[in-house]
Structure 1
Amino acid sequence: MKLNPDLLRPLLGTLGLMIGFGVYAVAGDLPQPWQRLSIGAMFVLLGISAFVYARGERWIQVLGGVLALYGVLRAFVIG
């Protein structure tokens, strides 16, 4: 049985959100500066993956850039 990619996408998105919130919660328990740096790195990785995944969808690429920029600011400025 082969799954339709359009049906698999919401399942993978939900699973990804659950994993992301779990990792974010664990990173929130780290001592400073590791908490700030790890959460910032997660946003940078999320932004890069969104940018790469977009494949020509400009608004998702912009969102990926904004997430990556926020991650850098979160790691080194905000906190």
Structure 2
Amino acid sequence: MRPDLLRPLLGTLGVVIGFGLYAALGRLPQPWPHLLIGLAFVVLGISAWVYARGERWIQILGAVLALYGLLRATVLH
């Protein structure tokens, strides 16, 4: 089995971008932070679902992230 060296690098880069984006969106005037952060979680969940390619636990994680994003944008403040 050949290790995929690009996968950990992309994961680390994604985490750094995610934390930066989260901090930047938190500085916007209300109600934009809740809506845009929720939308970011929905996009992350959908992209995880598409990326999973049959890995069930990643698809479940993607669904949970998308659901959390919807709740964050609408109910959780």
TM-score greater than 0.5 by the shorter chain: yes
Displacement of 1:5 in angstroms is: 6.7
Alignment partner of 1:23 out of 21, 24, 34: 21
CA distance in 2, matches of 1:20, 1:65: 18
Q: CA deviation at 1:8?
A: 1.1
Matched residue, 1:40: 38
Q: Distance in 2 between matches of 1:27 and 1:6?
A: 32
Residue matched to 2:56: 58
State the distance in 2 between where 1:72 and 1:47 align: 10
Q: TM-score, normalised by structure 2?
A: 0.93
> Which TM-score applies when normalising by structure 1?
0.91
1:52: how far off?
A: 0.3
Indicate the RMSD between aligned Cα atoms, in angstroms: 1.2
Size of the aligned set, in residue pairs, is 76
Could you say which residue in structure 2 is the equivalent of 1:13? 11
Unmatched 5+ residue regions in structure 1? none
